[in-house]
């Protein structure tokens, strides 16, 4: 594990009401102000990132998805070859893991 770089400094302006809420919340969490702010920023940033990285489907996408589940297309030669390769790889791994002395 690498050491955390705490050299970066972030200066912000904060109104009195927000500061009071921050102080109250960080005291409940039993964290110093700096650690509480870092943790809060990280949690919010991860939430925003996750929201933007979600795959969203519209009604046409869902209709196509369920139609393909009900009537899947025939596998292509490439798909058949990939399935065969997968079976060979997993069978080799299974034999090596469980049947070799």
pLDDT tops 80 at residue 41: yes
- Count of structural domains within the chain: 2
- Parent domain of 21: 16-52
Place of tokens 């009401």: 17
> Would 5 be classed as within a structural domain?
no
> Would 36 be classed as within a structural domain?
yes
Per-residue pLDDT band at 10 (split at 50, 70, 90): confident
Q: Let me know whether 20 and 48 are in one domain.
A: yes
Closest CA to 37 of 53, 14, 55: 14
Cα 15 from Cα 37, distance rounded (Å)? 15
CA quadruple 56, 62, 65, 69: dihedral positive or negative?
positive
Average pLDDT along the chain = 88
Per-residue pLDDT band at 90 (split at 50, 70, 90): confident
- What predicted TM-score, i.e. pTM, was given to this entire model? 0.53
> Would 85 be classed as within a structural domain?
yes
Choose between 30 and 90: higher pLDDT. 30
Percentage of the chain modeled with pLDDT above 90: 73
């Amino acid at each position: 594990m690498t050491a955390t770089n705490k050299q970066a400094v972030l200066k912000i302006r904060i109104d009195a009401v927000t500061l009071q809420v921050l102080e109250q919340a960080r005291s409940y969490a039993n964290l110093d102000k700096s650690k509480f702010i870092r943790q809060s920023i990280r949690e919010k940033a991860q939430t925003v990132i996750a929201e933007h990285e979600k795959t969203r489907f519209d009604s046409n996408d869902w209709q196509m998805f369920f139609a393909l589940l009900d009537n899947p297309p025939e596998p292509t030669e490439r798909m058949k070859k990939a399935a065969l390769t997968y079976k060979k790889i997993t069978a080799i791994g299974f034999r090596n893991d469980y049947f070799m002395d």
